[in-house]
Amino acid sequence: MNEKILIIEDDQAIVRVLKRSLTYEGYLVEAEFDGEKGFQKYQQFRPDVIVLDWMLPGIDGIEVCDRIRANDDNTPILMLTAKDTTHDRVQGLDSGVDDYMVKPFEIDELNARVRALLRRTKPERSVILSFNDLELDTTTRLASRNGRSINLTAKEYDLLELFLRHPKQVLTRDIIFDRVWGYDFGGESNVLDVYIRYLRQKIEEKGETRLLHTVRGVGYVMRELP
């Protein structure tokens, strides 16, 4: 089951960026634009992490945090705000938030902080990624298909995890190179095609249906055929 992120932020442009990025990372994301509705959404949605603006219509982020903590709820809260003085940071952290980021911010850093908050609160949680009859345990790094164990190299694991976090989404070669290798080998390299072939051989070893498909001229996608 994917982790759930709640964004409580009144800047719709920021919300769009956050939702797009966090959804791409594989999280289930909901958003509200004022404090009161944000608190109500928290009660309904029960997120794993909250990204919370300080200055909000209705009740502000400090009040939202106070209400959450009054319920003896330790859900991680990342406060996102333009208030950047030392006094502001101290006040925010003293209110019970777990982390504090000042606007403007880098989206990659925010994603990293969300991951850190999730690790801090759920260090032993085993996340099972699955599609069709293919599963991947991100804690043990073990894959299986229809109960059959699949041994993966480090790069094969990274590839499979990326596809399982983005099922039915076409991933371009550039995106795959960036996420798995951290750089682009260049247009003439066939290293990605080689690893895709290795991965297919392992997940289709017993004649299972193909799940990893080529999108010619673009990249690859994890999906079932109609």
The pLDDT, as a whole number, for residue 32 is: 96
Give the count of alpha carbons within 13 A of 186, CB side only: 2
- Spell out the residues 6+ positions from residue 18 whose beta carbon is closer than 8 angstroms to its own: 7, 9, 29, 31, 51, 107, 110
pLDDT in tens, 78-117: 998 888 777 777 787 777 888 889 888 899 889 989 988 8
- The confidence score (pLDDT) of residue 45 equals 93
pLDDT at 189: 67
CA distance 59 to 61: 7
- Summarised one tens digit per residue, pLDDT across range 133-159 is 999 998 888 999 998 999 998 889 999
Closest CA to 118 of 74, 54, 159: 74
Using alpha carbons only, give the angle 71, 116, 143 rounded to the nearest 5 degrees. 110
Q: Shortest CA distance to 59 belongs to which of 16, 102, 95?
A: 95
Domains in the chain (CATH in brackets) are: 4-121 (3.40.50.2300), 128-222 (1.10.10.10)
- Inform me whether the pLDDT recorded for 56 exceeds 80: yes
| Whether 161 contacts 195, CB under 8 Å | no
pLDDT the model gives residue 27: 92
Confidence of residue 1 (pLDDT cuts 50, 70, 90): low
The average pLDDT across 196-219 equals 95
pTM: 0.57
The residue among 42, 72, 71, 46 whose CA lies nearest residue 56 is 42
Q: What is the pLDDT of residue 86?
A: 76
Range from 15-24, 79-88, 100-109, 203-212 carrying the lowest mean pLDDT: 79-88
Pairing status of strand 4-8 against strand 28-32: parallel
Joined tokens for residue 117: 């908050």
Q: What angle in degrees, to the nearest 10, is found between the helix axes of 107-121 and 12-24?
A: 60
pLDDT at 187: 56
The share of the chain scoring above pLDDT 90, in percent, equals: 61
